[in-house]
Structure 1
């Protein structure tokens, strides 16, 4: 379907839905957060991810950051990965300009290997069929820093991200927007919501989007179709059920390629590469992904004491991946050796989380107790293979060459066929205890994880993992009348491990332990919120080389991350808002038999800092609002041996918006927008994995848009 035809279809759909919507006062607006219904608020200082309960951030004894839909929208961000640019503790976009396929970054020095949507894991045990949540469907992103297994099970120690879906509102509203921009970007979207037939017991929301454009790598393209309907039923004041549907098709998705370090991260004697360098081949490049999900968020309050929540989602993801990739630069500094990779994958996942909460007093203590049982089931099918490809002259590339081992050829290509079945069951308990202004958070969880990986073919062998782990968390915070809140906490994570040691004994899960202390502040008028945190995380029992048996591993590796983070938001005046963040990290392998002792993992910046100013103009410029931001990412090691670094970079972003109704009353509801990221088009490398693989950061991207709201 052409974009223009899609826009007309969206308009036709929106009209009858809007006609059915009835006006409701703004004070009645509510939104669901992880199944908890919370009243809309002016400041984003209440979160649910850290405790699975609606809790003020200033009373949460662990670092939490929140990114709102408005913040994503004002910069025209296409991916949630881009939205992490102004968050403390994050080394963003480690895979550079390939923003339309996956969201990849480091959090407190650790790779974020899985994300959560509405409190449910999106974990995938295969290779390339990972789901990606489109930024247009997100009401907010909550980033919990540090280990979080006590509530969520299997997850890395750096922290996790929970994407909270946009859900139906009781206030009738909507918007249609068209955007155009750099590299032939075209986007049109619809968001409409409200009560059905004037009855606020039944509300709907419909999100739809079409986006296309050129990828940063020359000859590549991206394209996305998205529709996400939802429906909320409130049969009585105690019960809310929200059905959530989502369908997303990405027939094209940029490139996943890289550039050699010579010519990107540092000088090549023959010249420098352009940020649009492409190591692949347009006749072979493919990434076609379809993802669909259906689920619900349900809540029932039995009384003022007891409530029950159940979140459930079934997801299906299919992907077809084909790529020519770089495998090394020859000594002549221009001949790039290459190979081919391809996969056909699918994943069916079911996740459900049951929560029973109780709020009650015992003497002077107020308890908010949470008991939970969650379950995840995933079944993946993976066809994967590797092959060879012709060399490429990086300074005079010739594309369209015949590749060897093409999966479309008669000889076939896929040499690995596997089935992966993974299940996780977790039982957890938590108590938030308040004594006047003292807050104590206690949590305990037990998980059982099983995984069977069957390699089909001549051997038809199955490798099984059956592991259990108990994790905990303790936090203490005191919230002074002044708004200051010092806190300290300890939390754990775990990651199941496959394989066995030389003696045939299965490995136990890798664990993470964090100690964190800090100071939070929220002004009495809630115009200022800031947090300062210091932490140490140890990822223990990691696999490292067995010194006595070649090609085997032992479980005594350790990676330690220490750091200090600052993050704050302040309404300096009624028109001027400041957001700022800064991080200093010290990450190193403290135990290793692989020659990594004392080394820092690749792609982890020691220092990052950012600031963004938003200003709402008045007077003769009434209706105009804008903002400007600057972000700094320090150098990061480019290979595991720490022999070279990817250089630091500083970028500037800008956004402007004008309410056209201020110019002419007949244009009420219309708004024009413009944004630019990497305003000065700085050429930079976001990170490197080795001397052969580096990734250019995103070039300057300019967008203009026109939005009609009602």
Structure 2
């Protein structure tokens, strides 16, 4: 796979108006004939299943994969005081990843008196190796409004500085019992992980690190004849994180705790002509060592302390007489770090509604709306300000709220659907995200896609 990687633009012109003029969404501050990424990847694996009886089954999943990437990026690094001259850097980057995974599990079904059990026990293993290297060199300046490119004027560095060079070996032993007593379903599971990370990079402060962690989950669901199923669950998590900061510090494992309670409804009592599934849930998640974009080095990441997310999720999917369908959802997510600042790229409110009608002739159409509330681009203490090119910005670089409209037109014949799908059909111009003062991106412009789908 090959392509262009450019897209970094100043916040003054994307997030806020530029006093000089309007920045074009299609502007390219790199070198169109020089910027590139080349990606080569492949994977090979299998799934083996052996059933000993109707109550016992063994499954093994095995996979080997490789990923190789080289990219060359000239990008805007700083906006001058004239609000149009952009200083650029050259960032070549190389990444090679090898991974072997295998999962062995045994499914067992049995009963102990009135209790029906579905037990899952297994062991998995992962061997992951990643090595990356990069370089930074100056690449001159360019005009934000009238760029003049210089094909062939920039030569990639002959040597790159080694960055991440790690091997992670992870072994996990897990057990889960899903027990049913009448209309009550109880789930209890546990997992023990053993992780060893070898840091071969010269900057590694800790050459070898080892962690072991036990995590567990418990939940209960009550089923009713009316199709209403209230539930509650609690879970802990442990996830090793491969990689390191720009300064060379290896990432620590991420750990979390989650409470969730809600209700599900499948409308089985409303008749055969109405298919409906609705869910409502409240949750609280506390997670440590969360990755965020490094605002000073946008190609790298940092780990924060703790993030707490509290919220509500509502979802409705319905289809009436197999012709009229409605999909609707709403999410309230209050995600803040330990300093009380909102987490980057996490809108507090998200909502969507899409309705579609298909006539018996096969012709159909649909339309919908999506809403995203304001969200921060970077994590920082609220209330702080900075000045770039004479324009004052919040250090959190918040993207404004956005409402977008989508539509579809389709025609069905036996075995086929032909469709034209449009997103952001009114071509609204908006800031997608700013992870730094010169690391801003416009949101997706209007997109029209034609498809032909064959069903078997």
TM-score range, shorter chain: 0.7 to 0.9
Post-superposition Cα deviations, 1:206-235, rounded to whole Å, max 9, x if no partner, equal: xxxxxxxxxxxxxxxxxxxxxxxxxxxxxx
Equivalent residue for 1:333? 83
State the distance in 2 between where 1:479 and 1:464 align: 49
- TM-score, normalising length from structure 1? 0.56
SS at match of 1:645: coil
Does the residue aligned with 1:262 lie in a helix, a strand or coil? helix
**Aligned in 2, Cα 1:497/1:677: closer, same or farther, shift over 3 Å?**
closer
Query: In 2, distance between residues paired with 1:527 and 1:563?
Result: 27
One of 262, 265, 281 as aligned partner of 1:533 = 281
Report how far residue 275 of structure 1 moved: 1.8
Whether 1:690 aligns to 2:436 is: yes
1:291 matched to 2:33:
no
State whether residues 166 and 199 of structure 2, in contact with CA within 8 Å, keep that contact through their aligned partners in structure 1.
Answer: yes
Aligned residues: 423
Q: Secondary structure at the match of 2:305?
A: strand
Does the aligned pair in 2 maintain the 1:638–1:691 contact within 8 Å? Answer: no
Runs of 4+ in 1 over 3 A off after TM superposition: 401-405, 459-462, 495-500, 506-510, 540-544, 668-672, 705-710
Aligned to 1:585: 333
| Pair 1:655 & 2:408 matched | yes
Cα distance in 2, alignment partners of residues 527 and 706 from structure 1: 26
Q: TM-score, normalised by structure 2?
A: 0.86
Name the one with the larger helix percent.
1
* Deviation for aligned residue 1:413: 3.8
CA contact (8 A) 2:406 2:425 kept: yes
Query: Do the aligned residues in 2 keep the contact of 1:455 with 1:462 (CA within 8 Å)?
Result: no
Deviation of residue 599 (structure 1)?
Answer: 0.6
Written as runs of structure 1 = structure 2, the 5 A alignment for 1:558-577 is 558-577=306-325
Q: Distance in 2 between matches of 1:530 and 1:670?
A: 29
2:14–2:23 CA contact under 8 A, matched in 1: yes
Q: Select the residue among 360, 372, 375 that pairs with 1:633.
A: 372
Q: CA deviation at 1:480?
A: 1.3
Q: CA deviation at 1:332?
A: 1.6
Match of 2:352 among 598, 610, 629: 610
Does the C-alpha gap of structure 1 residues 339 and 445 become closer, same or farther in structure 2, counting only changes over 3 Å? same
What SS does structure 1 have at the residue aligned with 2:224? coil
Q: Report which structure shows greater RCO (CA 8 Å, sep ≥6).
A: 1
CA distance in 1 between partners of 2:86 and 2:112 (Å): 70
SS at match of 1:603: coil
1:449 is matched with: 195
Q: 1: CA distance between counterparts of 2:290 and 2:411?
A: 53
Distance 1:613 1:308, change over 3 A: same
Q: 1:391 aligns with which of 126, 130, 141?
A: 141
SS across alignment from 2:12: coil
Distance 2:134 2:315 in 1: 43
Task: Provide the residue aligned with 1:511 in structure 2.
Answer: 255
Q: Which string of whole-angstrom CA distances, capped at 9 and with x for unpartnered residues, describes residues 254-311 of structure 1?
A: 4342211111111111122122122211232111111111111222221121111111
Distance 2:163 2:280 in 1: 49
User: 2:55 — aligned with what?
Assistant: 305
Kindly tell me: are residues 418 and 390 of structure 1, through their superposed partners in 2, closer, same or farther at Cα, counting changes over 3 Å? same
Say yes or no: does 1:251 pair with 2:28: no
Question: Does residue 426 of structure 1 match 2:181?
Answer: no
Q: Which residue of 2 aligns with 1:188?
A: none
Q: Secondary structure at the match of 1:271?
A: coil
- The corresponding residue for 2:391 is none
- Call closer, same or farther: CA 1:483–1:310 in 2, change over 3 Å: same
Among 208, 212, 225, the residue aligned to 1:464: 208
Alignment-derived partner of residue 348 in structure 1: 98
Structure 2: which 5+ runs fail to align?
Answer: 245-249, 293-302, 383-393
Deviation at 1:464, TM superposition (A): 2.1
Query: Are 1:299 and 1:309, in contact at CA under 8 Å, matched by a contact in 2?
Result: yes
- What is the CA-CA distance between 1:441 and the residue it aligns to? 0.9
Shift of 1:706: 4.7
Match of 1:16 in 2: none
Q: Quote how far apart the aligned CAs of 1:573 are.
A: 3.2
What's the CA shift for 1:353? 1.0
Check whether the contact 2:311–2:334 (CA below 8 A) recurs between aligned residues.
yes
Whether the aligned pair in 1 keeps the contact of 2:304 and 2:337 (CA below 8 Å) is: no
Judge conservation of contact 1:335–1:391 (CA < 8 Å) in 2.
yes
Q: Tell me, in whole angstroms, the C-alpha distance in 2 between the residues paired with 1:461 and 1:583.
A: 41
1:420 is displaced (CA, Å) by 2.2
Report if the CA contact (8 A) 1:443-1:473 is conserved.
yes
Alpha carbons of structure 1 residues 370 and 705: separation in structure 2 relative to 1, 3 Å: closer
Alignment CA distance shift 1:671-1:583 (3 Å)? closer
Q: Higher strand share goes to which structure? A: 2
Q: Provide Cα deviations, 1:440-496, integer angstroms capped at 9, x if missing partner.
A: 11110011112212126xx89972221111111111111111111111111111233
Q: What is the CA distance between 1:392 and its match in structure 2? A: 1.6
Secondary structure of 2:14's aligned partner: coil
CA contact (8 A) 1:387 1:404 kept: no
Q: Distance in 1 between matches of 2:47 and 2:189?
A: 23
After superposition, what is the alpha-carbon deviation per residue over 1:498-550, rounded to whole angstroms, capped at 9, x for unaligned?
999xxxxx997432101111111112158111111111111136799xxxxxx
Matches within 5 A, 1:92-241: none
Kindly state the Cα deviation for residue 638 of structure 1 after the two structures are TM-superposed.
2.7
CA shift at 1:419, angstroms? Answer: 3.3
- Whole-angstrom CA distance in 2 between matches of 1:255 and 1:649: 25
Name structure 1 gaps, 5 residues minimum: 1-249, 501-505, 545-554, 591-596, 662-667
Report if the CA contact (8 A) 1:327-1:336 is conserved: yes
C-alpha separation between the residues in 2 aligned to 1:571 and 1:517?
Answer: 26
Contact 1:465 1:497 in 2 (8 A): no
